[in-house]
């Protein structure tokens, strides 16, 4: 019985806040949800991952300002995301791509980080 439960747990998609790693701009260790930061997709991302919905339609625009602010030196609510410079730049490019695909102006934080 224990082996069956272990196989089920190992086969389950890991999540944080009910979201898969693809919903986060920073994923330190893909196997450790505690390292995933800056959620910016809705739960509809599961449908997108299954090929039933366009990924861009799952962007949670209400969460985007907080994710962007967390990348800035001033941070979100005064705290910058704990990440390497490389992770911050990768996240900035990732979030900027969502803004561009949606035809939205880039926030100044992203402009300052990626130029």
Residue 56 lies in a domain: yes
Angle at 22 between CA 18 and CA 25, to 5 degrees: 100
pLDDT of residue 115: 81
**pLDDT 10s digits, 16-73:** 888 999 999 999 999 999 999 999 999 999 999 999 999 999 999 999 999 999 999 9
| Structural domain span for residue 79 | 15-114
Q: Distance (Å, rounded) from C-alpha 110 to C-alpha 99?
A: 10
Residue 51 lies in a domain: yes
pLDDT of residue 5: 47
Domains in the chain: how many in total?
Answer: 1
- Band (pLDDT 50/70/90 cuts) for residue 110 is very high
Q: Distance (Å, rounded) from C-alpha 115 to C-alpha 108?
A: 10
Residue 6 lies in a domain: no
Environment class of 79 (CB within 10 Å of its CB; exposed 0-12, middle 13-18, buried 19+): exposed
Residue 8 lies in a domain: no
Residue 4 lies in a domain: no
DSSP state letter for 29: -
């Amino acid at each position: 019985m224990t082996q069956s439960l272990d196989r089920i747990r190992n086969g389950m998609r890991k999540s944080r806040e009910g979201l898969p790693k693809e919903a986060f701009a920073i994923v330190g260790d893909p196997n450790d949800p505690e390292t995933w930061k800056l959620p910016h997709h809705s739960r509809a991302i599961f449908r997108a991952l299954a090929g039933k919905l366009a990924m861009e339609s799952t962007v949670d625009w209400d969460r985007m300002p907080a994710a962007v602010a967390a990348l800035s030196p001033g941070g979100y609510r005064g705290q910058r995301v704990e990440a390497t410079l490389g992770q911050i730049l990768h996240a900035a490019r990732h979030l900027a791509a969502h803004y561009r695909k949606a035809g939205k102006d880039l926030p100044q934080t992203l402009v300052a980080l990626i130029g």
